[in-house]
Amino acid sequence: MDYQLVNYLSGFITSERNELFDRILDQRTRYLTIVLENIYQPQNASAAMRSVDCFGLQDAHVIENSNDFEVDREVAMGATKWLNVNRYNQKAENSRDAIANLRAQGYRIVATTPHEGDTNLEDFDLRKGKTALFFGTELTGISDVVKEEADEFLKIPMHGFTESFNISVSAAVILHHLTWKLRNDSAIDWKLTAEEQAEIKLNWLRRSIKSSDLIEEEYRRKIAQR
């Protein structure tokens, strides 16, 4: 990681914006991530991405089996600009590909759907490890593949006639509760490493600075001449 480059580019934004980046990075986490499986309504997917940013998650994963992921800019309010959005659309079984990738990163696979042996949101144990929360389509829910592969099942308790929230509301409710628990549990190491923070900040700087590629080229020329 080129920390000098991060410091150099930081000089091209205001001190207030630089402090904002650092403050947000201090609260960012990869301990939790969400996975949207085959969501076909752009408004719901975009609203979920907005919640991911608002609650301090850095990564989101999108499985595109038969539906392409499209951002509704008015709903997302620019949230995806600050997130790492990983898309799965190149394999015959994109859901299995996503699950394998997340497991390789140490995540447990948690399906957010009522199921035999499921856990209420309030009782979910975050200390068991990094968690990838899967959300399914608005009509049919999570796929059979995810149900078969899931390590655990999580549900939001319901007390009315309607059996479920829509995807964006479910994501917001779950992330609000779990990130609150996360930040109030000193036994969980949920923060980004210094290297992760620097890598993400570099990406944010590149997206924020006009002609950042030319500025970076000039920086590298100066370094090479030393």
How confident is the model at residue 73, as a pLDDT? 66
pLDDT in tens, 180-222: 999 999 999 999 999 999 999 999 999 999 999 999 999 999 8
The verdict on 92 and 134 lying in the same domain is yes
Contacts of 55 (CB under 8 A, 6+ apart): 172, 175, 176, 179
- pLDDT of residue 41 exceeding 90, the answer is no
- pLDDT number for residue 141: 81
Which amino acid is it at 147?
A: K
Residues 54, 128 share a domain = yes
Residue-wise over 74-98: b if at least 16 C-beta within 10 A, else e? Answer: ebbeebbebbebeebeeeeebbbeb
For residues 201 and 129, membership in a common domain is answered with no
More confident of the two residues 160 and 129: 129
Edge-to-edge strand ranges of the sheet holding 131-135: 84-88, 59-63, 32-37, 131-135, 108-112, 152-155, 119-120
pLDDT tens-digit map of 86-129: 999 988 899 999 999 999 999 999 999 877 778 999 999 999 99
Longest dimension (CA), the chain: 71
Selection from 203, 191, 201 nearest residue 26 by Cα: 191
The reply to whether 182 and 200 lie within a common domain is: no
Task: Give the separation between CA 154 and CA 133, rounded to whole angstroms.
Answer: 9
* Tokens matching residue 41: 């309504």
Task: Answer yes or no: is 156 a known binding residue.
Answer: yes
Give the rounded percent of residues in the chain with a pLDDT score beyond 70.
97
User: Do 42 and 146 share a domain, yes or no?
Assistant: yes
Over 70: is that where the pLDDT of 72 sits? no
Looking at the structure, do residues 136 and 102 belong to the same domain, yes or no?
yes
83 shares a domain with 47? yes
Same domain? For 78 and 153 the reply is: yes
Q: 72 with 99, same domain? A: yes
Share of the chain above pLDDT 90, in %: 73
Q: Residue 48: which residues within 8 A CB-CB, separation 6 or more?
A: 34, 36, 39, 60, 135, 167, 168, 171, 172
Residues 19 and 85 both lie in one domain: no
Any known ligand binding at 119?
Answer: no
- Closest among 181, 224, 133, 172 to 53, alpha carbons compared: 172
pLDDT number for residue 76? 54
pLDDT band per the 50, 70, 90 thresholds, residue 42:
confident
pTM above 0.85, yes or no: yes
pLDDT of residue 129: 97
* pLDDT at res. 77: 63
Closest by CA position to 78, among listed 178, 173, 208: 208
Domain ranges, residue 60:
29-190
CATH number of the domain that 179 lies in? 3.40.1280.10
What is the separation of C-alpha 124 from the centre of its chain, rounded to a whole number of angstroms?
19
Domain count, the chain: 2
Same domain as 19, residue 76: no
Give residue 123's pLDDT. Answer: 96
Mean pLDDT of the chain: 92
Same domain, 126 and 92: yes
